[in-house]
Amino acid sequence: MFIKFLRCMCIAIVFMTANSYAAERVIEDYKIKGINGDLEKNVALYLKQLKGEKPTRTLQRYAKKQVQNSIKALGYYSPTIEVEFNKDDSELVVKIERGPATRIDAINITLNGEGKSDTQLQTIIKNTNLKQGDVLNHGNYESAYKKIESMLLERGYFDAKWPARKLEVSIKKNSAVVTFVINTGVRYQYGSIEITSDTPAEKYIRSLAPFTQGQPYKSTYIADYNLKLSSTPYFASVRVYADITARKNAQVPIKVEVTPKPANSFEIGGGFSTDLGPRVRFKWSKPWITEDGHYLDTNMNIAEKQQDLSMAYTVPVDDPNDDLWRFSVGYKLEDELADDTYSEILTAQLQRQWLTEDKWVRTAFLRRDQETFRLGDDPKESTEMLMPGISYARKNLKGGTTPYWGEQWLISAEFGLDDVLSSTNLLRVQLQHAWLRTYLNKHLVFLKANVGAMLVDDINNVPYSLRFYAGGDQSVRGFAYQSISPENEDGELIGGKYLLSGTMEYNYQFAQNWRAALFVDGGTATNDFSDEFEVGAGFGFRYLTPVGPIRIDHAWGLTKESKSTRLSITIGPEI
């Protein structure tokens, strides 16, 4: 009797131990056999979720069902699937024979209503990723539906209905038929602009609208309108939207909600570059001075070797962003920013700025400069210039403070006459271009060129601030600030009549907020093209922040005799 009792106890202990061991076992990995490519990736998405689960028969059945659904989503409705565990139950092994593909036999899309004659809507429908003869993909089916639905809203078909939206699959024929029937209803027009709060800027809110009442609705114009209002100096926040719930008589009212800036606003900021060192910035603005929206901006930047102060009074004409008069005054001091140089300049300028039909910002200006400067051990010199000129600028960016796409142009020409309040006869022209693109989300290419020329008899009569130099963090890295220049007999850097510089840079984003960079810069400033074209190259890192990338570069002056290196740190985007 006692022996039987012991035997029962042993069996119970073994059973309990086995159960305890089984309870501790979990799936650690999975293996997929028989398929590859997108099918394998889609199955893997389901199986990843099973890691850490217990290897039970229930799980086996569940896994088989999920695998079947994941293959069906890509057009294979009759697969053969085996789900097993390996010997120690730590790995899930799935063997699959995908079977025949289900292909799209027909696509029937019917448009009724005003959208039937909308060519852009029809183009979107034709360009969906549903093609007759393709293997059925449920993701493409849903994507096509959402793309059409989005376009209907974007183009103002707010009453659109879908009487039929079907995907019919014949397992016997391995075929599918897609059916969309869309009643678009009317295409709504822009209604009246309704400003929800009192503001003295009502005139500009209405004049900046890129549409008129009665024009067919398009949501991109709403986004453009929001951006234009946000770019004015008057508002702390802007919200523009179509009030779809209040639509009637085939028109939708446009609501504008604005929060005005305070009568006086102040900003304090800073930055750093190895050319200037630490920099503190202070800005004071009065965004609304008169009934017509005149505004005042004052900026002060203080660094160890450079200080500048500027004040600008702006008078809008029709557009406070791009159609305006501006009068500005400024003071700038540079002391040993470049070796053995000193410059102090007072400036006053009158500008007339407006936007061309091709979206270039055209600025005609008249500038008065009085400058005192010293080069090396020479005594200080004083110059004066009265310079009329014109510039054309255009900048397009995507990505905000960390752009991933962009292009920038600046073309300027100005002249002075020694008979008209100027120290010398001078014609000065300059062209600057920057180009930025991102490929496959991680590969960024940045190119930059800067070309300048002066028509003048003697470079020594030209004010220091108007001469051309190269070198520094924003020019040819690996060389000190403005160190690329013609020299006089005493070895002093006197600046040049001509400038040519360029940058080629490649960035690779290897983490969410980090990029690695490789670059080559080159340039020269010269009076007769006898000076050497200097080249710098190096590597760096970019840390992406909400205020723009922090760029850390280590560069070699490849054409310098010393072959010495320079570390540069700048804050802000490439464009």
Q: Tell me the longest C-alpha to C-alpha distance in the chain.
A: 131
Q: Write the pLDDT tens digit of every residue in 461-479.
A: 999 999 999 999 899 999 9
Q: Measuring CA to CA, which residue among 364, 374, 368, 320 is closest to residue 347?
A: 368
Token pair belonging to 434:
């920057």
Q: Are 376 and 355 in contact (CB under 8 A)?
A: no
**CA 557 to chain CA mean position, Å:** 31
**CA 368 to chain CA mean position, Å:** 37
Secondary structure class of 332 (helix, strand, coil) = strand
Secondary structure class of 352 (helix, strand, coil) = strand
**CA 112 to chain CA mean position, Å:** 39
User: Which residues make Cβ contacts (< 8 Å) with residue 224, sequence separation at least 6?
Assistant: 210
Describe the crossing of helices 138-154 and 219-231 by its angle, rounded to 10 degrees.
Answer: 60
**CA–CA dist 466, 463 (Å, integer):** 6
> Which DSSP letter does residue 135 get?
B
Query: Rounded to the nearest 5 degrees, what angle is found at the Cα of 544, between the Cα atoms of 481 and 282?
Result: 60
- Write phi, then psi, for 432 (nearest 5 degrees): -125, 135
Phi-psi region of 89 (alpha: psi -120 to 50; beta: other; left: phi over 0): left
**Would you write out the chain's pLDDT as a tens digit for each of its 575 residues?**
545 555 655 555 544 444 444 456 888 889 999 999 999 999 998 888 888 888 888 988 999 999 999 999 999 999 999 999 888 888 889 999 999 999 999 999 999 999 999 999 999 888 888 999 999 999 999 999 999 999 999 999 999 999 999 999 999 999 999 999 999 999 999 999 999 988 899 999 999 999 999 999 999 999 999 999 999 999 999 999 999 999 999 999 999 999 999 999 898 887 777 777 788 999 999 999 998 899 999 999 998 889 999 999 999 998 899 899 999 999 999 988 887 889 999 999 999 999 999 999 999 999 999 999 998 888 899 999 999 999 999 999 988 889 999 999 999 999 999 999 999 999 999 999 999 999 999 999 999 999 999 999 999 999 999 999 999 989 999 999 999 999 988 888 999 999 999 999 999 999 999 999 999 999 999 999 889 999 999 999 999 998 889 999 999 999 988 777 888 888 888 88
End-to-end CA separation in angstroms for the chain: 92
3-state SS of 89-127? CCEEEEEEECCCCCEEEEEEEEEECHHHHCHHHHHHHHC
Secondary structure class of 139 (helix, strand, coil) = helix
Query: Rounded to the nearest 5 degrees, what angle is found at the Cα of 136, between the Cα atoms of 134 and 137?
Result: 115
Residue 131: other Cβ atoms inside 10 A: 11
Q: Are 304 and 276 in contact (CB under 8 A)?
A: yes
Q: Write the pLDDT tens digit of every residue in 220-255.
A: 999 999 999 999 999 999 999 999 999 999 999 999
